[in-house]
């Protein structure tokens, strides 16, 4: 037995696959893991894949277009897309499917860009359709669009740097020397690691005019020439001056785009001809169908997609007696017929991602384009200098052609011809090589005189080019001239109309929404559910994310309003009917996204204000409480957000909607409590009131919680009740403390 046990131990040591062997674990600090493993991967995705650079292209776009340029597809005829995809793999070895998808998005047929770069033939799908798939690459054909001439202008004249491809067999440009700000003209979306980019498109002519004006005056008002974003799918942009100004200044923000429609009274139908860039026709039809089936929209009898070769068309059959304006107003609120576009102008500049506003982007583009023009001018000047140098050597030969012939004829070895010419005429090796290569038929005075007559002209041209390099004004004039040429050749009218927000205000449609009782639930992390009483009775337990849990529950009606308070002293107003009926098993709607809250903002409280006759009590860390009348949050206009919803002197820790007949329990961080009647706090009409002191706090202590006393485990209320404020409170007894979850430490 002892021998068998020893043999087993030997086998376990010799064979690491034997069950029971303890593997060696190498510990590594998390900081080292991030630096060694995570950061190189993240930077590779950010720099080499997902984020566009100042020329407006990602590497995949640039590799495809440059391959097509080298294939002669800028001036030649179309070729099969499969041929282009195969050639592109010499630069982009990520598979033919990814390359072809890139080509599809850049194509004229797909209609994703205001200025498409691929002149396509065949079925390339549509950006506004989820189900209209593009044909295989063996069936379609493509070549470069004419505007690509502006991308590759002077690319062979040292305007940009080149680098080796992945296997070192050929060279490719690091950027394309675009002669217009393509970074703003072409819409671009990318998701990297821990960051993303979402750039909306702008009209080509407007963008170029803005760049021209900024070259003249760096303080130019951008909004006077760059009116608003423009999309290839058209639609109507709801213009809000503050939102657009914020996007132009910071590169972040959002705006809404709605569909274009027309009412054909004779057929009792509504035709939708243009939709927002960020949605699809199938998504719109699915949502409208859902609303009709749930009974929330009763005026529609049918909806169908009648898109054909003439373009997009969605047709809605409406019932008799329906007012089309009111119906479309409701559909704009409840469906993707009106959708939001969130901007995040994240761009790679010198290999580093930066979020920039429009002015800063155009300034960076101008600086980069200035460098391209200077490099082109310097390259041209160097070529002319080389030519001038050769002609000056030829000019010396003019003095004695017969002597040059005699030197050549008298030289016995070919290798000595150039040195002898150098000695005989005092010229350098380059000049002597040029003279030696002249054909016999050209050794005559007429030929040499014609060549040397170029000398004076070249000297003037070189001097002019040197002046351009030394004159920022002349460089700006060159860039301006090129931008004007682009406007003249490729400028087009806006596709997206601008509708000012006051004219686009949606009428109050409260009476149009069906009215029925609902139960509202809000989780700690901001997930909101609207559940009908029937569904609530039939459903099971409420579902939450693993780290989430219940926060608020209230009863309301579908026509009711909802006030959502945030931790940034703001309140958002919305309608209960704007949310879909859901079930307890669903996670619900994430309110920060639904309400377009500011970055980093989270939900603190929510309530149904009813007729705005009550009040809300807001408790702060400093021991104060402010009771604000709900009428302070009522507005005559259809505003969606109110700033300065409550005081910012101290962080808010609790919100309680209460009348005078309720008692409240307030807790401090040192386990003391005070119970008092809400009537002791007088209501104020001003939202920014600092409140009154309700609890006297010791040094380094703070108010941490406030709830109706009925929601607490306190049994002896008289111990903590006070008749006047502020009060220090009484120490909590063991039985009156809140239940706390025990945690076990595993050894």
Do 158 and 291 reside in the same domain of the chain?
no
378 counts as catalytic: no
- Give SS3 for 529: strand
pLDDT on residue 742: 35
Per-residue confidence (pLDDT) for residue 531, from 0 to 100: 92
Distance CA 31, CA 38 (A): 10
Specify whether 159 is located in the same domain as 293: no
Q: How far apart are CA 239 and CA 237, in angstroms?
A: 6
- Closest by Cα among 735, 734, 741, 732 to 705: 732
**Does some domain include residue 520?**
yes
How far is the CA of 521 from the CAs of 108, 218, 541, 545, 554, in angstroms? 47, 52, 12, 14, 7
Residues 444, 439: Cα–Cα separation, whole Å: 10
Strand partners, 300: 318
**Joined tokens for residue 672:** 């003391």
DSSP output for 48-63? IIIS-BTTS--HHHHH
Residue 33 lies in a domain: no
- Specify whether 523 is located in the same domain as 450: no
Examine the domain organization and report whether 484 and 515 are in the same domain.
no
Tell me if the bond preceding 726 is cis, omega within 30° of 0: yes
Instruction: Assess contact for 68 and 40: CB atoms under 8 A.
Output: no
The SS3 of residue 158 is coil
**Do 455 and 520 lie in a common domain?**
no
The helix/strand/coil state of 713 is: coil
Does residue 290 sit in the same domain as residue 376?
A: no
Regarding whether 610 and 709 lie in a shared domain, the answer is yes
Strands (E), 235-337: 236-239, 252-258, 260-264, 269-274, 300-305, 314-318
Looking at the structure, do residues 699 and 557 belong to the same domain, yes or no? yes
**Integer angstrom CA distances of residue 270 from 156, 273, 313, 324:** 54, 10, 10, 8
Q: Which of 41, 139, 166, 500 is catalytic?
A: 139
- The residue whose two tokens read 């373009």 is 311
Cβ–Cβ under 8 Å, residues 161 and 97: no
Rg (CA), the chain: 37
CB atoms within 10 A of CB 96: 15
Of 336, 352, 381, which closes a domain? 336
Q: Are residues 387 and 477 in the same domain?
A: yes
Lookup result for tokens 């498409």 = 116
The owner of tokens 């995809």 is 85
Residue 249 burial (10 A CB sphere; 0-12, 13-18, 19+): middle
Count of structural domains within the chain: 4
- Contact (Cβ atoms closer than 8 angstroms) between residue 181 and residue 208: yes
The string of pLDDT tens digits covering residues 298-352 is 889 999 999 998 899 999 999 988 899 989 998 998 899 999 999 999 999 988 8
Please state, as a whole number, how many other Cβ atoms lie within 10 Å of the Cβ of residue 708: 14
Show which of 456, 489, 522 is a domain's final residue: 489
8 Å CB contact between 134 and 123? yes
Q: Which helix (H) or strand (E) holds 563?
A: strand 561-566
On whether residue 130 sits in a domain, the answer given is yes
pLDDT at 502: 57
∠ at Cα 187 (184, 188), nearest 5°? Answer: 105
**Residue 425 resides in a domain:** yes
Is 653 contained in some domain? yes
The span from the CA of 435 to the CA of 423, in Å, is: 13
613 DSSP 8-state letter: -
Measured in degrees and rounded to the nearest 5, phi and psi for residue 622 equal -80, 10
pLDDT value for 252? 93
- CATH number of the structural domain spanning residue 291: 3.30.1360.40
- The CATH number covering residue 72 comes to 3.90.199.10
Residue 529 maps to which CATH number? Answer: 2.120.10.90
φ and ψ at residue 666, rounded to 5 degrees:
-120, 135
| CA atoms of 62 and 155, how far apart (whole Å) | 13
Length of the chain measured in residues:
747
Question: How confident is the model at residue 743, as a pLDDT?
Answer: 37
In contact, 160 and 174? CB cutoff 8 Å: yes
Same domain for 723 and 584: yes
Same domain, 566 and 679: yes
Please report whether residue 648 resides in a domain. yes
C-alpha distances in angstroms, 134 versus 57, 97, 151, 286? 22, 12, 26, 22
Q: 222, 500, 177: which is closest to 356 by C-alpha?
A: 222
Helix (H, G, I), strand (E, B) or coil at 224: helix
Instruction: Report d(CA 128, CA 277) in Å as an integer.
Output: 7
The pLDDT of residue 282 is 94
Q: How many Cβ atoms sit within 10 Å of the Cβ of residue 668? A: 21
Sheet holding 703-708: strands in order across? Answer: 703-708, 663-668, 672-677, 730-731
> Whose structure tokens read 């900024």?
214
CATH number at residue 380: 1.10.268.10
**What does the block give as tokens for 381?**
């000047």
First to last CA, the chain: 36
In a domain, 601, yes or no: yes
Q: Are residues 483 and 520 in the same domain?
A: no
**SS3 of residue 42 by DSSP:** helix
* Domain end marker among 489, 524, 547: 489
Residues with pLDDT less than 70, the chain: 1-23, 501-513, 636-639, 738-747
Give the pair of three-digit tokens for residue 515: 């009215």
**Structural domain containing residue 460:** 366-489
Q: Is residue 94 part of a domain?
A: yes
């Amino acid at each position: 037995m002892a021998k068998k046990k020893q043999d087993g131990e030997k086998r376990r040591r010799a064979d690491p696959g034997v069950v029971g062997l303890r593997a060696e674990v190498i510990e590594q600090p998390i900081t080292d893991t991030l630096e060694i493993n995570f950061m190189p991967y993240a930077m590779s995705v950010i720099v080499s894949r997902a984020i566009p650079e100042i020329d407006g292209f990602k590497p995949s776009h640039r590799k495809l277009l440059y391959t097509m340029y080298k294939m002669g597809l800028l001036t030649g005829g179309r070729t099969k897309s499969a041929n282009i995809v195969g050639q592109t793999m010499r630069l982009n070895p990520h598979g033919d499917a990814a390359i072809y998808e890139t080509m599809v998005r850049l194509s004229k047929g797909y209609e994703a860009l205001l200025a498409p770069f691929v002149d396509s033939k065949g079925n390339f799908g549509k950006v506004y359709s989820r189900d209209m798939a593009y044909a295989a690459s063996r069936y379609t054909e493509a070549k470069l669009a004419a505007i690509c001439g502006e991308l590759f202008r002077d690319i062979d004249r040292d305007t940009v740097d080149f680098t080796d491809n992945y296997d070192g067999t050929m060279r490719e440009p690091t950027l394309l020397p675009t002669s217009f700000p393509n970074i703003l003209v072409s819409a671009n979306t990318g998701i990297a690691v821990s960051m993303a980019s979402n750039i909306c498109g702008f009209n080509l002519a407007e963008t170029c005019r803005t760049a021209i004006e900024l070259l003249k005056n760096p303080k130019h008002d951008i909004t006077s020439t760059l009116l608003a974003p423009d999309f290839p799918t058209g639609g109507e942009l709801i213009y809000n001056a503050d939102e657009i100004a914020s996007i132009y200044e910071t590169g972040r923000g959002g705006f809404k785009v709605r569909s274009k429609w027309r009412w054909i009274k004779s057929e009792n139908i509504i035709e939708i001809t243009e939709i927002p860039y960020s949605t699809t026709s199938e998504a719109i039809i699915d949502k409208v169908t859902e609303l009709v089936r749930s009974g929330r929209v009763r005026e529609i009898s049918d909806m169908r997609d009648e898109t054909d070769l003439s373009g997009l068309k969605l047709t809605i059959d409406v019932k008799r007696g329906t007012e089309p304006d009111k119906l479309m107003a409701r559909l704009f609120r409840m469906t993707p017929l009106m959708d939001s576009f969130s901007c995040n102008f994240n761009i790679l500049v010198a290999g580093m991602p930066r979020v920039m506003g429009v002015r800063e982007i155009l300034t960076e583009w101008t600086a980069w384009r200035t460098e391209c023009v200077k490099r082109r001018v310097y390259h041209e000047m160097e070529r002319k200098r080389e030519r001038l140098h050769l002609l000056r050597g030829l000019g010396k030969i003019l003095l004695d052609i017969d002597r040059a012939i005699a030197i050549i004829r008298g030289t016995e070895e070919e290798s000595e011809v150039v040195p002898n010419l150098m000695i005989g005429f005092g010229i350098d090796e380059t000049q002597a090589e040029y003279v030696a290569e002249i054909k016999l038929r050209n050794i005559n005075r007429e030929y040499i005189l014609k060549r040397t007559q170029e000398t004076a002209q070249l000297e003037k041209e070189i001097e002019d080019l040197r002046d351009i390099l030394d004159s920022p004004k002349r460089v700006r004039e060159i860039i301006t001239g090129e931008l004007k040429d682009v406007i003249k050749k490729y400028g087009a009218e806006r596709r997206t109309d601008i509708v000012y927000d006051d004219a686009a205000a949606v009428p109050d449609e409260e009476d149009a929404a069906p009215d029925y009782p609902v139960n509202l639930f809000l989780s700690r992390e901001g997930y909101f559910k609207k559940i009908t009483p029937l569904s609530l009775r039939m459903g099971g337990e409420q579902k939450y994310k693993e780290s989430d849990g219940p926060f608020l529950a209230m009863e309301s009606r579908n026509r009711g309003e909802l006030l959502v308070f945030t931790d940034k002293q703001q309140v958002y107003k919305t309608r209960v009917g704007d949310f879909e009926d859901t079930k307890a098993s669903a996670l619900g709607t994430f309110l920060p996204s639904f309400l377009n809250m500011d970055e980093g903002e989270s939900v603190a409280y929510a309530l149904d204000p009813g007729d705005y006759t009550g009040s809300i009590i807001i408790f702060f860390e400093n021991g104060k409480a402010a009771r604000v009348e709900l009428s302070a949050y009522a507005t005559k206009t259809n505003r969606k957000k109110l700033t300065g919803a409550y005081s910012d002197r101290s962080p808010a820790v609790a919100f309680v909607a209460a009348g005078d007949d309720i008692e409240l329990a307030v807790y401090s961080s040192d386990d003391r409590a005070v119970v008092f009647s809400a009537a002791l706090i007088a209501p104020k009409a001003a939202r920014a009131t600092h409140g009154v002191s309700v609890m006297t706090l010791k040094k380094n202590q703070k108010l941490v919680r406030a709830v109706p006393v009925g929601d607490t485990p306190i049994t002896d209320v008289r111990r903590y009740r006070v008749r006047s404020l502020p009060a220090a409170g009484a120490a909590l007894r063991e039985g009156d403390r809140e239940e706390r979850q025990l945690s076990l430490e595993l050894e």
